[in-house]
Structure 1
Amino acid sequence: MTLRRIATVEDLHSYLHIAMQLEHATIPPYLTALYSMHPTTNADAYRVIRVVVVEEMLHLTLAANLLNAVGGTPDLSSEGFVPTYPAHLPDGETDFEVGTRAFSRETIETFLKIERPAVAEGETRFVSRERSSRALLPAVDAHEDDLHFYSIGEFYAEIGEGIRRLHEEMGDALFCGDPARQVGPEYYYSGGGAIVKVTDGASAAEAMRTISEQGEGLGGAIFDEEGELAHYYRFQQLLLGRYYQPGDQGGSPTGPPLDIDWDAVYPVKADAQLGDYAEPGELHDAIHAYSATYGEFLARLDEAFSGRPDLLMPAVGDMFRIKELATQIIRNPMPGQPGVNAAPVFRGLAPVEVS
């Protein structure tokens, strides 16, 4: 069977926009788990998840740099950019679903599946199954019939191959984007790698390497070239109860133990939707205020990726400052649902007037 690959610059633009959507789609689930922990508890787990969120923002920025470099236009405010949870990532997997849920063993197991390593070298990156109606990426026809990417790593491998093929065909004309739209390392700090300005084939490959290594590890390694632990193994530490340290093998960390209290968590409503808060009142207003503020965060990212890179660090700061809004929501019981607390909804609404 001949698989349809990235054949045109327009195909590449579509894939890279979807890469941005995919990187963002992990952030609401990770933030919900982070928000749901009781204050002053689970410091180890909080630190692990927060580092991953910061690095997902790095990956989102790298994907934007790649898209800008090849003449595309990032758009985080378009209809459908924020998925409706639960969703299937990245290409409609049905063996697990991704939702906005409280911190728990089951939630961390889902995070491991999001970040699962790619198949071994020489094996196919596609699996055969029916497409899910809840696939995050329903518009992508990357391959024939019911073949789908096994993991995010395979999705990025396809992008990397597409960039190489088009670069061979077009030369440096592929990288026709305005260099002023590139976000450089001076505008964002992440302990796990720096932002790469993408201007040619080498810098594009470096950006792709950073995304792949930090997410799933590369070639079976659990640490990347900068000595940072891949996301898959960061999350795995929480289930194994111990930190990895240099020299460890996957599945066998030998570092200090993690202190985790799985019960010190608010029982937030899983996969909350705006329709769950239809009743007028303070909770309804708080939910809409949170969604509006999240929309402003996405709009600021749009500006940062459209020639205002100085706005990126303030935008990331906003992402964590809105935790206070989320905390106010999460401490409220859901009306008529004993034992269930409210949860924020990441919909990016236009601002609303709060009474």
Structure 2
Amino acid sequence: MSEHDSRNAGLPVRPLTEAEQRLVRHIDEHWDRARALTELRDGLQTAVEIELATVPLYLFAYYSINRTPQGFPATDLSRFADQAGGIMMSVAVEEMLHLSLSSNMLFSLGVQPQLYLRSPSPYPTDLPGHARLGPDSKPMALPLAKFSSEQLWQFLEIEYPAAADAPPELNNWQTIGQIYSFLRCIISSRHITDDDFKAGRAPAQIQPSNYSPNNIDSVYPTAGFNYGCPVPAPVNGSAAATAAYASRGDSHASRSALMTIASRENAMQAIQTIDAEGEGFGPHKFDDLSHHELSHYYKFLTLQSQLAGYDPKDEKLRNMPPPPPAAARQFSREELARIMFDFPDNPVAAAYPPGRRELADIVSGLYQYMLIMTESIFLIEPSQQKLYFNQTLHRSMIWILDKMIQAMRKVSLYGTDGYPSTLQLAPTFENINLGPRHQAFATLVAMCNGMNAKYGSESWYSSDAQYFVEMIPSLPEVSGLWQTPPDQPTLGKPGCDVSQYQGIPMFTELPPAPGVLLAGEVRHACMGLNQCKGQGRSRDNECAGQGYCSTALEFNFADPASPLISDHTCRVQNACAGQGGCGLYGTGHEQEAPGANACATQGCCATPINAERFSTDGRNRGKSVWLRAREVFAEQTWPELRKKNPSLPAQPPEPPHAELFKYGPTIEWIQEYSGHGMTACGASGMSGAGSCS
């Protein structure tokens, strides 16, 4: 046993169920190693996104609760408010643990976890890969809503434990445990080895020292205490003497709840921790060895049992584990309203009044930047990780985000834009696009500066909210980690290894402008189709046929004489001859000659011609568009070039870096390595590029 494994040793891994054993046999017999690794990486990214999707739901409900209302802590209603908040926060903290464990597993396989812009939106929403129907056989549509008996029911559907014989599922699951069961099966197959989990080294993963099961926001009082003149702990009458802790320190399968991954056993232990805490099979209500901590599912049931209208016989799901009896003291809707902030359901910032709208966008932007900072942990020198973690995530979440939302909910929506005047400003947790990761911090700071300049003198803003907006620029800027310097290979989205492009010119965002063409330069549709040396986006090539990507322009229908400096995304959008991409639309005859159309607006679809694109009609149907474009270049263009320059060889040279671009420019080079998006028409999602549908 390695030193790493001995540090992570703990409980034995739960044996595979019969259903899991059947799937393992199928994987062993019918999959190959490449498919097993791909499915495991993709499945873990899905798990990362599912865990991430729960965080805004739980935080929104948490922030809707006034944890210290009038009468706190002397009245039972005020103590219930604090209990509800403490339990909601404890679940959110453990979801962040699950997110970290899934991310560590994915990174250990050599793949950078993707969080930025991966939150669900808009609400109500389903969860990634979920079956059409939820555990109650009804469509699952999770709202972003305040704490209530109805919202707790939505949370019960998320956390519902899988049955012991539930089939492992990845893309048609009803309980989250089925996803982790599917991953257990792949890990247990003969195709996966311990060495597979060493591609992303353990010291660079999120370390155990960054996790604590409890914090001051997850505890709550079980009785009154001297709130007005606090007594030192642990004297009777102090807060400490009445504190209940929503989480325990033994609800995990290894020595640490947050563990690093370097073997199959480590991965199985991490999944077992996630399962036990609420995401997997568990017929019992506890998730820890000492039977003191409730699972997520049972925590929500316990809160629901204290609300009027609860009856265990009316639970919509089968009783597993058996629900608790109705609490002796149940709180009515009227009482619950007294401890709640009146948040709108499924809010979107665009519907907020001016000022409130921008503030909500800043909170969403801060949340997205927190996700970028989380991704950045894996790029930090391990010796600096603890310092980084404290200065980024702790500072942004515990200090800035938490206090900003507390300030927001003091602000009324003033009854404009269709909102009643009783409603209060709530976070929207939208996927605010801050641009590429290396520009995100600058974008967020600019949003803050604009907010202060425009609304700094208004009383509703120039108190608590403005103070914390002004704190955002004090967060560390991580843009340098995402610039892909030559000495630091980076990892792309699941399945992409963009480190292979180190030293290769990046895909330039825009083609050359009309006024900067070289002498005799002819616009062309893609990589390897240039007619002279130094043509192409990067200008970094020694010969015709070796250019890096297109120089095509977009036809300007408003002013045909002035083409737009942009690639074109669709059929008839090309501005010149020889600029048609092909492969998405057009007749079979038109698709026969990609990159060789006769004039403007006669091209067949987007440029550049990414390697993933295939022809959809004609003799080349189902085959590579770019390879056909190179054939046309060799058969038609190259002979014409040789007439002008007889010194050229009989055949065109190989395209640049043929070992990487033998089918043309890849989407991972364009988007993941170079950081530029690409769009092509179509709604099928099969063009390789983003859809413009």
TM-score range, shorter chain: 0.7 to 0.9
Secondary structure of 2:193's aligned partner: helix
The residue correspondences of 1:265-284 to structure 2 (distance < 5 A) are 265-277=340-352, 279-280=353-354, 282-284=355-357
- 2:203 maps to what in 1? 180
Distance 1:317 1:212, change over 3 A: farther
Instruction: State the one-letter code of the partner of 1:347.
Output: E
Q: Is the 8 A contact 1:326 1:343 kept in 2?
A: yes
**Residue of 303, 320, 324 corresponding to 1:238:** 303
Contact kept in structure 1, 2:36 and 2:192, CA below 8 Å: no
Task: String of CA shifts for 1:52-86, please: whole Å, max 9, x gaps.
Answer: 01111100100011001111111212x44443321
Q: Which of the numbers 162, 165, 169 marks the counterpart of 1:122?
A: 165
Establish whether residue 24 from structure 1 lines up as the match of residue 68 from structure 2: no
Do the aligned partners of 1:266 and 1:330 also contact (CA within 8 Å) in 2?
yes
1:257 and 1:312 map into 2 onto residues whose CA distance is 42
1:169 to 2:207 alignment: no
Structure number with larger C-alpha Rg: 2
Q: Distance in 1 between matches of 2:424 and 2:55?
A: 20
Deviates more, 1:101-110 or 1:311-320: 311-320
Q: Which has the higher contact order (CA 8 A, sep 6+)?
A: 1
Amino acid corresponding to residue 359 of structure 2 in structure 1: A
Question: Counterpart of 1:132?
Answer: none
> Which of residues 342, 354, 366 in structure 2 aligns to 1:293?
366
Unaligned runs of 5+ in 2: 1-21, 70-80, 214-246, 252-256, 308-320, 435-443, 454-693
* Separation of aligned partners in 1, 2:346 and 2:263: 41
Q: Give percent identity, aligned residues only.
A: 26
Instruction: Say whether 1:340 aligns with 2:418.
Output: no
5+ long unaligned stretches in structure 1: 127-141, 243-248
Which deviates more, 218-227 or 194-203? 218-227
The structure 1 segments of at least 4 consecutive aligned residues displaced by more than 6 Å after TM superposition are 2-6, 253-260
Q: Report if aligned partners of 2:178, 2:280 keep a CA contact under 8 Å in 1.
A: no
Q: d(CA) in 1 for partners of 2:329 and 2:206? A: 37
Q: 2:393 maps to what in 1?
A: 315
Cα distance in 1, alignment partners of residues 192 and 304 from structure 2: 47
Q: Which residue of 2 aligns with 1:60?
A: 99
Name which of 181, 186, 189 aligns with 1:157: 181
Q: Deviations over 1:191-218 (max 9, x none)?
A: 4442011111111111000101101464
Query: Which residue, out of 49, 71, 86, partners 2:124?
Result: 86
More helix by share: 1
TM alignment of 1:2-151, pairs within 5 A? 7-41=35-69, 42-77=81-116, 79-92=117-130, 93-94=132-133, 95=138, 96-118=140-162, 120-124=163-167, 142=170, 148-151=172-175
Range 307-316 or range 151-160, more displaced: 307-316
The CA RMSD measured in Å over matched residues stands at: 2.8
- Residue type of the alignment partner of 1:291: S
- 2:404 is aligned to 325
Counterpart-to-counterpart distance in 2, 1:60 and 1:233:
20
Measure how far apart 1:30 and its partner are. Answer: 0.7
The aligned amino acid for 1:121 is A
Residue range with higher mean Cα deviation, 149-158 or 94-103: 94-103
Contact between 2:123 and 2:144, CA under 8 Å: does it hold in 1? yes
Count of aligned pairs between the two proteins = 323
Distance 1:89 1:255 in 2: 31
